[in-house]
Structures are given as structure tokens and as C-alpha cells.
Amino acid sequence: PDLVSISDYERYARHFIRDDIWAYISGGAADEHTLAENLQSFARQPIYNRVLSDFSTANTRTRILGYELDSPLLLAPVAHQRLLHPYGEIATAQAAAAMNVPLIVSTLSSVALEQIAQHAGQWWFQLYWQPQREDNQTLLRRAIQADARAIVITLDAPVSGVRNRAQRAGFRLPDGVREENLVEFATSVNTAAEGESVIFKHFMKQRPSLDDLKWLREQTSLPLLAKGISHPEDAKALQEIGFDGLIISNHGGRTLDGVPATLSLLPAIRIAVGKDMTLLMDSGIRRGTDVVKALAAGADAVCIGRPQLWSLAVAGALGVAHMLRIFQEELEMAMALTGCATIDAISQDVFADRF
Amino acid sequence: PDLVSISDYERYARHFIRDDIWAYISGGAADEHTLAENLQSFARQPIYNRVLSDFSTANTRTRILGYELDSPLLLAPVAHQRLLHPYGEIATAQAAAAMNVPLIVSTLSSVALEQIAQHAGQWWFQLYWQPQREDNQTLLRRAIQADARAIVITLDAPVSGVRNRAQRAGFRLPDGVREENLVEFATSVNTAAEGESVIFKHFMKQRPSLDDLKWLREQTSLPLLAKGISHPEDAKALQEIGFDGLIISNHGGRTLDGVPATLSLLPAIRIAVGKDMTLLMDSGIRRGTDVVKALAAGADAVCIGRPQLWSLAVAGALGVAHMLRIFQEELEMAMALTGCATIDAISQDVFADRF
Amino acid sequence: PDLVSISDYERYARHFIRDDIWAYISGGAADEHTLAENLQSFARQPIYNRVLSDFSTANTRTRILGYELDSPLLLAPVAHQRLLHPYGEIATAQAAAAMNVPLIVSTLSSVALEQIAQHAGQWWFQLYWQPQREDNQTLLRRAIQADARAIVITLDAPVSGVRNRAQRAGFRLPDGVREENLVEFATSVNTAAEGESVIFKHFMKQRPSLDDLKWLREQTSLPLLAKGISHPEDAKALQEIGFDGLIISNHGGRTLDGVPATLSLLPAIRIAVGKDMTLLMDSGIRRGTDVVKALAAGADAVCIGRPQLWSLAVAGALGVAHMLRIFQEELEMAMALTGCATIDAISQDVFADRF
Amino acid sequence: PDLVSISDYERYARHFIRDDIWAYISGGAADEHTLAENLQSFARQPIYNRVLSDFSTANTRTRILGYELDSPLLLAPVAHQRLLHPYGEIATAQAAAAMNVPLIVSTLSSVALEQIAQHAGQWWFQLYWQPQREDNQTLLRRAIQADARAIVITLDAPVSGVRNRAQRAGFRLPDGVREENLVEFATSVNTAAEGESVIFKHFMKQRPSLDDLKWLREQTSLPLLAKGISHPEDAKALQEIGFDGLIISNHGGRTLDGVPATLSLLPAIRIAVGKDMTLLMDSGIRRGTDVVKALAAGADAVCIGRPQLWSLAVAGALGVAHMLRIFQEELEMAMALTGCATIDAISQDVFADRF
Ligand SMILES: Cc1cc2nc3c(=O)[nH]c(=O)nc-3n(C[C@H](O)[C@H](O)[C@H](O)COP(=O)(O)O)c2cc1C
Ligand SMILES: Cc1cc2nc3c(=O)[nH]c(=O)nc-3n(C[C@H](O)[C@H](O)[C@H](O)COP(=O)(O)O)c2cc1C
Ligand SMILES: Cc1cc2nc3c(=O)[nH]c(=O)nc-3n(C[C@H](O)[C@H](O)[C@H](O)COP(=O)(O)O)c2cc1C
Ligand SMILES: Cc1cc2nc3c(=O)[nH]c(=O)nc-3n(C[C@H](O)[C@H](O)[C@H](O)COP(=O)(O)O)c2cc1C
């Protein structure tokens, strides 16, 4: 009835989700400045309405890493989806398949990746680096076998951030929701000695080094992306060791509080890596106009995070599909009104001076 | 009693108007950033108080497209006015005639244009392009026959925008309110094939092409204006094909959310089209000082949108006339205090540095 | 008890003052943007704390138009004070005398100027121009006879502005509060013909022309100031015809809504008139630090408006005296902490970069 | 339970602290603009997330004035701690010792410095200048005897500021809380003559002159710091007379309202004094990211003010220790995510453009 925009799903979802889980999925790090700025950055960026462009061959198709997509939309990797719905990632995969939108499956999915793959259309695998190199190899092999079309390694969460909202709500993964892809691996043991910093001597030891990333690059010929990049120099360094693409992201404001919105980070990173490298982005995409702004700022496509969870909680696979339909329609509307008949036509020219 | 400003009419109107209709008329597109910015842009633009000008021959008269006006005020085209009052556009026309303010009649009026014309003083016709060229010819012929003095074609609403507020309220045109000018035309059939984009393959196909606009120019020797222009290049292109004037407008924030306020768009457009082209503007005019600011930024006159509806709902023709009187008095007050004794004297010099 | 700052007087006064009178004295013009900006301008201007200056001969004394003042503080002309307290301007005059602060008496005082003068220390006369030149002469003669030490003509209120808050509250001067100085003059008759603009053809005809101001200059050898100046060119023009000083003011936000705060107007006006012309200012002074900021921006002294009324309503003459004491102490505190041991030492150097 | 951040301690403390004491410790001067800006300055300063740095030898150690510290954290001097907890400064000292964080003991401590010293680890003495030079000598001698490792003289509070919040709450030091270090000294007598300014002729006479500061420098070979510096010229002047370090501070917004946040003051002061002078800072530090930002802006270490009091009130020594643990962990987290493996690695490069 009055479910006509992404924010309506957010509003409804509030009533379908337990308080602690709500705090976990909605919350950001620390004082949630970045979380708020993710939305504000889009809100304060004006765009022109154009009225004379030719729309005879208009469409939203685009090519990303060699794959033809109907639209520059993907589903961002989001862990633990059975928190929101009994079918969890399976429902999301069905919706993505139905809507022909690529799905990025998280290492921390609550359904085994093979099972998700059975219901998915095009899907990519998001890797959280495992302390043992061979465990990464195992995950990769499983993903490739289950027909993943790209590998995304997330780099911005070596520690999980100061998640005060979730902590205050006392959130813990409930019984019955497990990280199914990891059950066979040894549980990680704290490597910090008594009195040493757990953060520096345990967590930061477990994250991938530059060497690990080079090694990873050699393990697969699939397109390889790094997620969670906010600085042009990190972008260039990853390009140099052979990454095919980057996902510019602040993890939806969930890791370091104070990172700028990705919209404001994109232009400098696009300049740093040149026009050919594939740049996806996420964090705060809620409207068709947000997609247009992200692309105008330098992205090739965008990933959708929390809206997956809200729509999944409200109406399962159907909800996720409807949520994607809203994005598609709003994107078309935004292109129609900004005078951009194709994805390639979207450029910095759509931007007007900041309010 | 305490109906002394335009915002008082808004406040009162709330009690006279059904919730869904209120949502339809008050709402803007999507998150209503442009709607808010329309007001904010005026609020944050400071102006100087001047104390030494000569006011011996002061007046608010101006010449627009060859017509002498008492004041640089017009009524913007607003559809479906019988939603607000049983006499609808007729009451508005009577008030406009009484106050000697030109009225722009919408294609989507809920009273036939010929009937409105009988009660109107100077009136202009606003055309929404019809898919069949001959239907446009019919509308034009009817308007000219009923003594329309100018033709305004609205270009910024080929799709009606993401009107979430109205959607959430479940707004639909109630029985008994029809688009009277269009009843004889064939109802539009979706031209998008199964699975194709309705927006691109239906709506965007129906809007006027550049050729259609050239053709339109040839159909009449009346002054021809385009409404809904926000970009200098569109302004120039329309000037080149012979348009006499433009209405710089973001449709009151109702089409593309994110378009800047028209106040901030005017200076660049004035530079683009030169000092002779007629530039009207609308969106957010609520005070006499707003009129002065709009003219200082480059407009020749302004159009008033929603205040028509609020005053119509509260007190019919009398309300609309009173609303226009408030604007006239506030405009004189604003000119008196900014030291501008005539409309021509209003220039960028009235502006002080932004707060 | 908890009456320790000017805003405490405002808070308390609310309970001592009838709603319509409250609306009249507190309100500003139209949407009260200038009213709000008057406070905001001070709030957002940062200043440095200095710790090493020499305070051995510290004091707040200053010389204004040849008069030695204990402090750069004056009481602004405020009409109709018997609205707030039965003794009205007499109580204010007593407090000003006790605190040795010059008082500017309004043309529209609710006690005759001769009576106020009996209770006052140093006082100046504020003239609202009367349509008949000889009436101005009469007022001037009376003021000089009663020992006024300077004449201030207010120029920014030829029309009283769009005072919506007072209008909505239905404010009218109650029986028993009269403009005592004007009772003998003919009541002004609307000079606008039927259908003509009352604003242009009546009010703007009655305000002083440049010739009237030159004539006024010739009528007295007392220091002559113009009040309500916001533009550097008006400032220069008045300097050229022989005015000794200016009061930079937006009338406490009560005339033209949208005029910048006087703090932001001062620097350019100081540059325009040079360092020797006397510049007072008012509008929004509520703290000792505001006084320091005003002087740093170019003023020689400041006038206090509404705080007079609040303190008068709460505690009569005692209240006004206490209010002035708070200003004096806060000013000394502000000078102590900004390292300015004398009024002359206050310069733009106290300003830090805007937040 | 939900005590996971510094602001949680603030929230809890509200329930443990009497209203007037709360007003005294939480409040700032006047309208508390500086108090608010202290937090806002950190909130609006964005920082980059970096993902490729080497953390193999990561640590938070630093060297301040010749002392090796585990972390660039100190406890700011805070008076009257027995207002918050029966053990007052003793509890704080115990926590600081346990966490190996230097403690700066106030002249106005409610426990005698010798007693505090017995429970403290490394501690410094903060001097409020006493009118009699010999009293300062006495305090210094006592501090040195009790093994103070540095002397900090506070210069920004010669008058205590316009503390309206505390005044309105009627705060007075309750019986049983005394300034234990000062009991033996003569109580200060107002030196202002009748009618003279108490601020200029009493308080400002009692603060240390430049000569006094030179004299003080000669009294001790311990590191000597000045606290409450906000202007580069004062910083240079103090450097020239031999001060070893400065604490850039606006006293937590408690003295002059309108002083900028210290974060914005640091860069210019660092340039003025060069890279070798020790610069500490305080005012508004509440997060690990704030510490990183302060160091990036030019500080060598930061001092923590009010959080001491909140945690002390909630849970005594344990609370203070836990509060310090939160800071340590958040600092490590912030360094991990900004890619700074050591304190030296923190530079202006962590800053992104302001939102
Ligand atoms: C509950 C939740 C779980 C997430 N899990 C993962 C994850 O497992 N891997 C990952 O790379 N990103 C994860 N993210 C981050 C998302 O991929 C994405 O960056 C973020 O949600 C985008 O911002 P948005 O939610 O504002 O759209 C998660 C985000 C949320 C909200
Ligand atoms: C209820 C409503 C109906 C409208 N109908 C039309 C219309 O039929 N044709 C048109 O060109 N503009 C239409 N507009 C836009 C107005 O002409 C005008 O651009 C807008 O209202 C100006 O902004 P304001 O309402 O802030 O003054 C409509 C606006 C509203 C609020
Ligand atoms: C109730 C009221 C009456 C006033 N009457 C006069 C007046 O008679 N003459 C005049 O020049 N200014 C008058 N003013 C303006 C003040 O002199 C002064 O410019 C203004 O109050 C300063 O702003 P503040 O109130 O923010 O301090 C009046 C202001 C108020 C609030
Ligand atoms: C209740 C209270 C008492 C204080 N007492 C002293 C003091 O005795 N000496 C001093 O130099 N600073 C004193 N300060 C200021 C602190 O040292 C420090 O500059 C300030 O608290 C830092 O800001 P923060 O509270 O925002 O962290 C005091 C601050 C508070 C809140």
C-alpha cells in the first residue's frame, strides 16, 4: 500500500525485527557520523533537470568486468541474513535471480554458498581473509566450483569497528544462525600475549598483507575486486598488483567513524586509477537519483546494502524483488529527468553547484 | 483575523483539505529536498535595507512580452483546482481578473478552458504535449479562440516524478474531478512492449521532441514560452528555435528531487540568454521579498503556485484575491525598504553577502 | 536567584507580559530570519583567549562624540515602554542615570520627553520624521531645551515592516499608552488617492528626503546621527551631508526581513566612512562578548534594545540597572579574557577564523 | 552492560550526581558555544580509512618531555573530585596508576597533593598562581617533594568565566569539600577600591605577569608547561621565556565562550612553535578517533577532562580505569583503521576534506 520507496521498507522493517538485531543491522560505528553523512552527501548534491535529450534508444544496460548487466545495480555482500528471514540468503538469491541483478555472497553467509548458488543467477563471492592461506584457497575453490563470477575481498574491516549501538543492545548471533561457510575451519585463537594489544597483535596480524593480496591475485583468473577502499593511494596500489576493480565503500558507516561519504571520495579515486578500472561503490544508496549521482561522480555501478535486509525482513524474496524494482524504476525516472538516455551519458555534467 | 501572510493560508488550508489531497498538493518528489530548498534558498539570501532613494514616482508596473502588468506577478498553471473548491479554476480566474493578475490555465484544468476564459482577465494557456500532434493543434486553436494571450509548454514533467507523499496517501483523482480539456481525446495506450521500460518506451516517447517544439513554434504567433527549464544550455536551445520566454522552474519540487532552487539557477541562465529574453520563474515564492530576490537574480516576473490552492481552499475567489493583495503589499514594502522605486531598479545590488 | 544573564531576563519576562504585547516586542518582521541571524552572527564568530597582556591600567572608558562614557554601552530608543511597566520610560531613565549609561529617548515614548529628562542622566533624542517640517522643529526644540545631548534620526522604518507576529496576536496599543510627544500634532491623513499604493503614495511620501536631512543638519549644532543604516553607500552619503555618526542597525530584525546581521555589515561600513566617523550599532547584543565582537568589527559603542524591556517588565528600574550591571561585568570579563585592557585595544585581532 | 563508550558514562553519571554539581561540572561559560564546538570540531573532521599499512610492530608508545608513555593519553587537572566520589582524587590516582597514565593534579584538589601522590603513578602538578610569590614556592616545593614530574601553570582562568549554568543551579562548594592544598594560605582579599572594577583591579591583578612567569621558570628544572593557550603569539612568547610545553585548551569551554575548538587551533600553533616543542591539548576528547585527529592536527598527546568525573561518579577507581581502557582500545582501533601503526605515523595525511 504505502510501500513505495526504500525508506518505507526501512520504516516497516522496524516492526518485523527484534531490537538487538535492528541495532546490529541499522547501526554504524561509534557516533554514526559516517552513517549520517552517507545519506547527507547525496541529499546535498544538486542535479540538473534536462528537457531536450533524445531518448529513442534509452536503456539502463551496462558492461561490468565483461558481464552485460541490465542495470548498474548489484547486491552488496551482507552477512547473516537468516537473522532477518528463515530462508535468509536463499530468498535474496531468488529475488536477485528473478530481477537479473548480480548478488555478492558474503563469506559470513548464514546459508552455505553452494546452497545459495543453486538459487542464484549471476553471483560473486566476497572473501573475508582467513588466517590460514589454505582456508582461503578452500573458500575460493568452493566458490569457483559453484560458479561465482568474480571475487571480492573486503579490506576495511580487519577489526569490526566500535559498534556501540549493537553493543548497547547486547547483540550476539542467536543460536541457529551460523557462518555456514566457515564451520569446517579451526576457530581463531587470540595470538596476542598477555598484556599485549589484541587489536595490534591478534586482529591486525590476521588480515591479509600485501603479499597475501598478490598471492590471492595468482589464485584465480576470475575478476578480482577489493572492497572498502577510501583513499586514492590504496586504490592505485591495488591496481598495480593486478586487481580488476574496487568497491569504494565505508562499509555503510560500520567500521571507522569519520570516513567521508563515498560520493565525495569517488572523483579523486577515479582520477587516480584512470577511466578504465572498474569502480563500484556502496554506502547510502537509497534512491534512483543516488545511483545517477554515484555514476556521475565516477562509479561504474553501485551496490545496495541494508535495503536488502529491510525488504527481506518485510516480505522475503518478494520484498527483495520489489525493492529492486523500485530502484530500477527510480533509476529510469532519474535518467529521464536528468536527460541521460544511457548509462554512458551520465557524467559530472548532471551536477549543479552545491546548495 | 490572523490571516496576514501566505504561510497563514497554508496553515489554515490544512484544515479545509482532505488528507490525500493535501499530500498531493503539498508534496514534492521523493525526499522533498528540492521542495525544502525552494524555501531555504530565499531564506538564506540576505538583502540590503536602503534609506535614501527617491520614491516620488514609485510603482510596481512592468512590461512582459508586450503586455503592461500592474505588477511582476502571475498565477502559475495549477491543475485540478476543483479538488480544492467546487468552483475550482473559475474562482481563481475571478480573483485574478479582479486583481488584474495574469492567469496561466493548465491543460489539466478541472473546468473547460472556455469556461475559465469567460471569467478571466488576461490569461495564458499552459500546454501539456499530447501524443497526437493534431490534439495539440486542437488545444491551441481552442485557447486562441478563447483569447489566450500566450502559450506556455511545460517540459519538465514527461514523467510525473517519484511522488511518494501522494502515493503513500493513496491519492487518486476523485470522481467528479476530470481533466475537462482532454475528454474528447483518445486515452493514451501504453506503447512499451511486455518487459520493456514503461518510462523509456512509453512516457519518454510521448513527450515533445525538438522537432515537435519547432513545429509548435510555427503554429502560433502568440508569445511562446517553455516552462520547467533549469539548465542554461536548454535555455539557449529553446531561444534558438524561437521561444519568446522561459519559466525557470523546478515544478515546485514535484518532478526531479535534487534540482536546485530556481533562485540559484537564474543568474547563469540570464547570462546565457542575454538581457532581452523574457524569464519568468516560480517555485517557493511566498513573500514580497522573494519577488524582489527573484527579480534581482535575473527574472522579469514570478509565478505563484501552491498559494493559489491554499487561499482557494480557505476562502474561494475572495481568498485568492486576498492572497494576491498580500503579495502586492509585501512587494511594495520590500521595494520601499530595499530602496527600489521601480521594477527596473531591482538589480543584483540589493543582495548582501550570504549569511 | 537564577537571573544571571540577559537571556534569564527574557525567560522571566515571558511570564510578566501579556501575549499580544510579548508578540509585539519580541517579534521581528515576516519570517524573522534577520531576528534569528542577529543572534547567530555573534554565536558563530569565534574569538581568541589571550593570556599575557598587561592589565595594570585596564578600564572600559571611551569617548563618543565628545562625551566621556564609562563604557561603550547605550540604551537604544525603544517606544511605548509603559506597555511593560507603569512607570515606563521614567524607570528606564532612572536606571540609566544610576548606571551612568546614556539613554536614547524615542519620539514614540509613552511619557513626555520632558518628564523622562527630569529623571535621566545623559540622554539623546531619537527623532521619527514628522510629515510637517515645523513639527520636527518643535520636537527638536523641546529636546534641546530638556538637555538632549545628541539627535538621532531613524531612517529604516518609513513603513513599519511586515510585522506578522504582532499582527497575528492582534496587538494594538492599549488605552492609556499614548505617544505623549506627538499628542499636539495633527494626526496623519492618508495621502494616497483611491486605488493608489498607500505604501508608495502615503508612507514613502512622509519620510524625510535628502533635502529634509540637509535641512535637519542645519537645525542643530548637537551631534547628529542617523539610525538604521546597513549599506556603505548610504553611510557615505550621510557622512557627506554632515552627519556626525551612524547607528548601524536592522532595527532588531523588525523592518526588512533578510537584512544581514549588523556584525557582518560593520567592517565594510567602517572602511567606507574611515576611522574617524562615530559608528554605533545595535541588534542582537546580549553578552559582553557580543560587545567585544561589535567593537572588533568596527563599532565605537553598542546600543541595547529589547533587554531594556525584559528587565523593565521583570523588575522596573532595578531590573534595568541590574541588566546594565550584567553587561558591564560581562564586558570586563570578555576584555580580561581576550587580553584587551582598554576599549581602544579591541581590534579585529580578537577574531579567530569562523567555526 | 551498556557502558561501552565515554558518552555512556556521561549518560549514567547524570543519575549519580546532584543537579547543582552536574551543572558545575558539565556546564561551560555563557551560552556554551565553545562547549558545543569542542565536540562538533571533531565530529565534522573526516579521516581516511587505509587498508594496506604494515602493522607488524604496531604500538601506541610515545615520548613526552623525556618520559616514555604507553599511550599519548593523560588525565587533565580537574579540581574538587570529592564532589563526585568520597575518595575523590585518590580513586582517580589509583586508576591512573593501574593504567599507567600520567595524572595532572590540580592546585584545587579536594585531597592534599601528598596524599594523592601516595596512590599515583607518574603525576604532574598543575599550579593556579597564588597572589603571594612565596605561596607558589611553597606549592612547588611540596609538589617536587612528592615527586611531581612536571609543572603545569594554568593561564586561561584569571577570572572564572561567566558560568551561568552553575550559577543558575546555585552551585557552591558543599561543606566537607575543601581545596586542601590551600588551607594554610591567607584567604584572598578584594583589592579593588569601592566603585572600581573587581575584575580589573582585583582578579586581573592577581594573575601572574610575564615577570612572574619568568621567575617561575627559574624556580624549577622540572619540565614546565603552560595550560590554556589558544593563540600562536602567546605560544611563542612562552616558548621564548623557556617553557618546555603547552597545553592547548579552552578549559573545556568553561572560561571564555567563543574560543575556537582546540582542534582548529593546533595547526597554526604547531607552525608557530616549530616541530620540537611539546604540545598537549584537551577539550572535547571523547573517542579514540578524537585522539588521532588531535595528533594529526599537531598535538603530541591529549588530556582527558570531564570523562574522569563521569566515570569516577559511576564506579570510582574502577570506573576511571575502565574509561581509560575504552580510550586505549578505541585509539588502537582508530590507528588500525587509519593505517597508522605508530604514534609518529599519525600526520595530517589522515585528514580528508571537510564534509
Ligand atoms: C548487517 C550488515 C552485514 C554486512 N556484512 C558484510 C559482509 O559480510 N561483508 C562485507 O564485505 N560487507 C558487509 N557489509 C557491508 C555491505 O557490504 C555494504 O558495504 C554496506 O551495507 C553498504 O552501505 P548501505 O547499507 O548504506 O547500503 C554488511 C553490512 C551490514 C549492514
Ligand atoms: C497541485 C499542483 C498542480 C500543478 N499542475 C501543474 C500543471 O498542470 N502544469 C504545470 O505546468 N505546472 C503545474 N504545477 C506546477 C506549478 O505551475 C508551479 O511550477 C509550482 O507550483 C511552483 O511552485 P510553488 O508551488 O512552490 O509556488 C502544479 C503544481 C501543483 C502544486
Ligand atoms: C518594542 C520596540 C520598540 C522600538 N522602538 C523604536 C523606536 O521608537 N525608535 C527607534 O529608532 N527604534 C526602535 N526600536 C529599535 C531599537 O532601537 C533597536 O534598534 C533594536 O531593538 C535593537 O535590537 P535588539 O532588540 O536585538 O537589541 C524598537 C525596538 C523594539 C523591540
Ligand atoms: C569540573 C572541572 C574542574 C576543572 N578544574 C581545573 C583545574 O583545577 N585546573 C585546570 O587547569 N583545569 C581545570 N579544568 C579544566 C580541565 O583541565 C580541562 O581543560 C577540560 O576539562 C578539558 O575539556 P573536557 O572536559 O571537554 O575534556 C576543570 C574542568 C572541569 C570540568
Average pLDDT over residues C296-307: 98
Ligand 1, atom 29: closest residue by C-alpha: A78
Q: Which residue has the cell 514523467?
A: B159
The verdict on the CB of residue B108 being under 6 Å from ligand 2 is yes
| Ligand nearest to the CA of residue C259, numbered in listed order | 3
> What CA–CA distance (Å, rounded) separates C165 from D56?
67
Q: Which three cell numbers stand for residue D183?
A: 588551607
Least confident of A147-156, B191-200, C73-82: B191-200
The answer to whether the CB of B143 falls within 8 A of the CB of B151 is: yes
| Closest chain A residue to B265, measured at CA | A352
Q: How far is C342 from chain D (nearest CA, A)?
A: 11
| Ligand nearest to the CA of residue D128, numbered in listed order | 4
Assign 3-class secondary structure to chain D: CCCCCHHHHHHHHCCCCCHHHHHHHHCCCCCCHHHHHHHHHHHCCCECCCCCCCCCCCCCCEEECCEEECCCEEECCCCCHHHCCCCCHHHHHHHHHHHCCCEEEECCCCCCHHHHHHHCCCEEEEECCCCCHHHHHHHHHHHHHCCCCCEEEECCCCCCCCCHHHHHCCCCCCCCCCCHHHCCCCCCCCCCCCCCCHHHHHHHHHCCCHHHHHHHHHHCCCCEEEEEECCHHHHHHHHHCCCCEEEECCHHHCCCCCCCCHHHHHHHHHHHHCCCCEEEECCCCCCHHHHHHHHHCCCCEEEECHHHHHHHHHHHHHHHHHHHHHHHHHHHHHHHHHCCCCHHHCCHHHECCCC
- Position in ligand 3 atom list of the atom nearest CA C108: 8
Q: Which three cell numbers stand for residue D27?
A: 556546564
> What CA–CA distance (Å, rounded) separates B250 from B284?
10
Q: What angle do CA A171, A176, A182 make, to 5 degrees?
A: 90
- What residues flank ligand 1, with Cβ below 6 Å? A 25, 38, 76-79, 106, 108, 126, 154, 227, 249, 251-252, 254, 282-285, 304-306
Residues of chain D with pLDDT under 70: 354-355
In this predicted structure, what is the pLDDT of residue C353?
87
In this predicted structure, what is the pLDDT of residue C354?
67
In this predicted structure, what is the pLDDT of residue D354?
67
- Position in ligand 1 atom list of the atom nearest CA A286: 27
Residue B222, judged by CB atoms within 10 A of its CB (0-12, 13-18, 19+), counts as: middle
The answer to whether the CB of C5 falls within 8 A of the CB of D30 is: yes
Q: How far, in Å, are B60, B79, B238, B280, D212 from residue B247 at the CA level?
A: 20, 17, 12, 5, 72
Chains B and A touch (3+ CB pairs under 8 A): yes
Q: Is B280 helix (H, G, I), strand (E, B) or coil?
A: strand
Examine the pLDDT at B355 and tell me if it is beyond 60.
no
> What CA–CA distance (Å, rounded) separates C105 from A275?
71
Q: Which of C290, C311, C41, C350 is nearest to D162 (CA)?
A: C290
> What CA–CA distance (Å, rounded) separates D233 from D239?
10
pTM above 0.90, yes or no: yes
In this predicted structure, what is the pLDDT of residue D346?
98
> What CA–CA distance (Å, rounded) separates C228 from A326?
55
Q: Which three cell numbers stand for residue B194?
A: 511486455
Contact B49 C203 (CB under 8 A): no
The verdict on the CB of residue D81 being under 6 Å from ligand 4 is no
> What CA–CA distance (Å, rounded) separates D348 from C297?
33
In this predicted structure, what is the pLDDT of residue A189?
84
> Which residues does chain D have within 8 Å of residue A214's beta carbon, measured at their own beta carbons?
none
Q: Which of D60, D71, D63, D295 is nearest to A200 (CA)?
A: D60
Q: How far apart are the first and last CA of chain A?
A: 34
Counting as contact any 3 or more CB pairs under 8 A, the partners of A are B, D
Q: How far apart are the first and last CA of chain B?
A: 34
Question: Parallel, antiparallel, or unpaired: how do β-strands D224-229 and D245-248 relate?
Answer: parallel
Q: Which of C247, C257, C337 is nearest to C292 (CA)?
A: C337
> Which residues does chain C have within 8 Å of residue D204's beta carbon, measured at their own beta carbons?
55, 58, 336
> Which residues does chain D have within 8 Å of residue C49's beta carbon, measured at their own beta carbons?
156, 228, 230-231, 250, 255-256, 259
Q: What are phi and psi of C247, to 5 degrees?
A: -110, 105
Q: Is A73 helix (H, G, I), strand (E, B) or coil?
A: strand
Average pLDDT over residues B73-102: 98
CA of residue B103 relative to chain centroid, distance: 10
> What CA–CA distance (Å, rounded) separates D242 from C203?
68
The predicted-structure confidence for B129-188, as pLDDT tens digits, reads as follows: 999 999 999 999 999 999 999 999 999 999 988 999 999 999 999 999 999 999 999 887
CA of residue B80 relative to chain centroid, distance: 14
Contact D49 A237 (CB under 8 A): no
Closest in C2, C49, C333 to D228, CB measured: C49
> What CA–CA distance (Å, rounded) separates C50 from A343?
57
Residue C191 zone, left/alpha/beta (φ > 0; ψ -120 to 50; rest): alpha
Average pLDDT across each block of 10 residues of chain A; the chain has 355 residues. List them in order. 94 97 97 98 98 97 98 98 98 98 98 98 98 96 98 96 95 96 89 93 95 98 98 98 98 98 98 98 98 98 98 98 98 98 98 81
pLDDT band at C161 (very low <50, low <70, confident <90, very high): confident
What is the four-CA torsion angle of C161, C165, C171, C172, rounded to 10 degrees? 0
Query: Measured between CB atoms, does D159 come within 8 Å of chain C?
Result: yes
| Closest chain B residue to C156, measured at CA | B51
Q: How far is D265 from chain C (nearest CA, A)?
A: 9
The verdict on the CB of residue B311 being under 6 Å from ligand 2 is no
Average pLDDT over residues C217-244: 98
Q: How far is the CA of D140 from the centre of ligand 4 (A)?
A: 20
> What CA–CA distance (Å, rounded) separates A236 from D52?
11
> Which residues does chain C have within 8 Å of residue B43's beta carbon, measured at their own beta carbons?
31, 33
**Chain B interface, best mutation among C239, C256, C282, C354, by max B CB count within 10 A:** C256
Residues 29 to 68 of A: which have CB under 8 A from any B CB? 43-52, 54-56, 58-60
Q: How far is the CA of B22 from the centre of ligand 2 (A)?
A: 14
The verdict on the CB of residue B252 being under 6 Å from ligand 2 is yes
> What CA–CA distance (Å, rounded) separates A288 from B198?
16
| Ligand nearest to the CA of residue D259, numbered in listed order | 4
In this predicted structure, what is the pLDDT of residue C26?
97
Ligand 2, atom 6: closest residue by C-alpha: B78
**Chain D interface, best mutation among C11, C51, C56, by max D CB count within 10 A:** C51
Q: How far is A354 from chain B (nearest CA, A)?
A: 8
DSSP string, B83-140: GT-TTTHHHHHHHHHHHT--EEEETT-SS-HHHHHHH-SSEEEEEPPPSSHHHHHHHH
Contact A1 B237 (CB under 8 A): no
**Chain C interface, best mutation among D156, D198, D199, by max C CB count within 10 A:** D199
The answer to whether the CB of C159 falls within 8 A of the CB of B49 is: no
C317-320, Cβ contacts within 8 angstroms, sequence gap of 24 or more: C317/C87, C317/C91, C317/C92, C317/C94, C317/C95, C317/C98, C318/C95, C319/C9, C319/C95, C320/C91, C320/C92, C320/C95, C320/C96
- Position in ligand 2 atom list of the atom nearest CA B282: 22
Q: Which residue has the cell 497563514?
A: B8
> What CA–CA distance (Å, rounded) separates A119 from A110?
15
> What CA–CA distance (Å, rounded) separates D185 from B133?
99
> Which residues does chain C have within 8 Å of residue D260's beta carbon, measured at their own beta carbons?
46, 48, 352-353, 355
| Closest chain B residue to C33, measured at CA | B43
Average pLDDT over residues C293-309: 98
> What CA–CA distance (Å, rounded) separates D56 from D66?
26
The answer to whether the CB of C91 falls within 8 A of the CB of C118 is: no
Residue C168, judged by CB atoms within 10 A of its CB (0-12, 13-18, 19+), counts as: middle
> What CA–CA distance (Å, rounded) separates C157 from B261?
31
Catalytic residue among B33, B85, B251, B322: B251
Q: What is the ipTM of this complex?
A: 0.97
- Position in ligand 1 atom list of the atom nearest CA A26: 31
Residues 72 to 111 of C: which have CB under 8 A from any D CB? none
Q: Which of D142, D154, D213, D206 is nearest to D180 (CA)?
A: D142
The answer to whether the CB of A78 falls within 8 A of the CB of A26 is: no
Chains B and D touch (3+ CB pairs under 8 A): no
Average pLDDT over residues B282-293: 98
Q: Is A177 helix (H, G, I), strand (E, B) or coil?
A: coil
Q: Is B281 helix (H, G, I), strand (E, B) or coil?
A: strand
Closest in B47, B56, B353 to C259, CB measured: B47
In this predicted structure, what is the pLDDT of residue D188?
79
> Which residues does chain A have within 8 Å of residue D46's beta carbon, measured at their own beta carbons?
37, 258-260
Q: How far is D355 from chain A (nearest CA, A)?
A: 7
> Which residues does chain C have within 8 Å of residue D261's beta carbon, measured at their own beta carbons?
355
| Closest chain B residue to C258, measured at CA | B46
Q: Cβ neighbours of residue A203 under 8 Å, at least 6 residues apart?
A: A158, A159, D336
The predicted-structure confidence for C176-201, as pLDDT tens digits, reads as follows: 999 999 999 988 788 899 889 999 99
Q: Which of A122, A151, A156 is nearest to A229 (CA)?
A: A156
Chain pair A-B, CB pairs under 8 angstroms: 111
Q: Looking at the DSSP assignment, which residues form a beta bridge with residue C248?
A: C229, C281
Contact C48 D197 (CB under 8 A): no
In total, chain C counts a number of residues equal to 355
> What CA–CA distance (Å, rounded) separates B279 from B302?
9
Closest in A4, A48, A54 to B230, CB measured: A48
Q: What are phi and psi of D123, to 5 degrees?
A: -140, 150
